[in-house]
Structure 1
Amino acid sequence: MNAPAEVTLYWRPGCPFCMRMRATLRLRGLRPREVDIWKDPDAAAFVRSVADGNETVPTVVIDGVAHVNPPPRMVVDALRRG
């Protein structure tokens, strides 16, 4: 059996893609670590560093690998792994 994935979801208020991702996860009872990039300047800088200088969210880090605007299914699968 694999260890559960370490998942961090970077998001911001008002982002429809973030709302979709968060709702998809919550409906399945899945709770990654969530970071609001508007409240955390270091998190915003990280997102820019992996998204070609943009604050593109959701950005999800799964086991240390950043994914910019991944499909919700990828995140659900990572959180259910284990």
Structure 2
Amino acid sequence: MSKITIYTKLLCPYCMRAKNLLKNKGQDFEEIDIGDRPDQRPIMIEKAGGRTTVPQIFIGETHVGGCDDLFALERAGKLDALLA
């Protein structure tokens, strides 16, 4: 099982949707709230290739992107393979 890291902010509806999808798939993940930990924001931006919005989701070494990207993988039937 790949390690999942998700950068979030409190009350972000896209973050909540992404986390719910992962939870519904039985996945554990490390959540880094950049509102509580602003020192992690520049790290997130660098890892995400300059993207500044949340969530930013990483599965293993793969940068998935945001909530819409995660759901696109799910619709395409590719998310489960990435999670394995």
TM-score by length of 2: 0.69
Partner of 2:58: 61
Number of equivalenced pairs: 76
Flag the structure with more relative contact order, 1 or 2, with Cα contacts below 8 A and sequence separation at least 6: 1
Partner of 2:38: 41
Classify the secondary structure of the residue corresponding to 1:30.
coil
Q: Residues 27 and 63 of structure 1: is their aligned pair in 2 closer, same or farther, counting only changes over 3 Å?
A: closer
1:14-58 deviation line (CA, Å, top 9, x unaligned)? 21111101111222322211111111123211222225252x111
- Structure 2: runs of 5+ lacking an equivalent: none
* 1:15-34 pair list within 5 angstroms: 15-34=12-31
| CA RMSD between the two structures | 2.4
Classify the secondary structure of the residue corresponding to 2:50.
coil
Give identity over the alignment, percent: 26
4+ long deviations beyond 4 Å: none
- Structure 1: runs of 5+ lacking an equivalent: none
Q: Residues 51 and 38 of structure 1: is their aligned pair in 2 closer, same or farther, counting only changes over 3 Å?
A: farther
Q: Which amino acid aligns with 1:28?
A: K
Q: Residues 75 and 32 of structure 1: is their aligned pair in 2 closer, same or farther, counting only changes over 3 Å?
A: farther
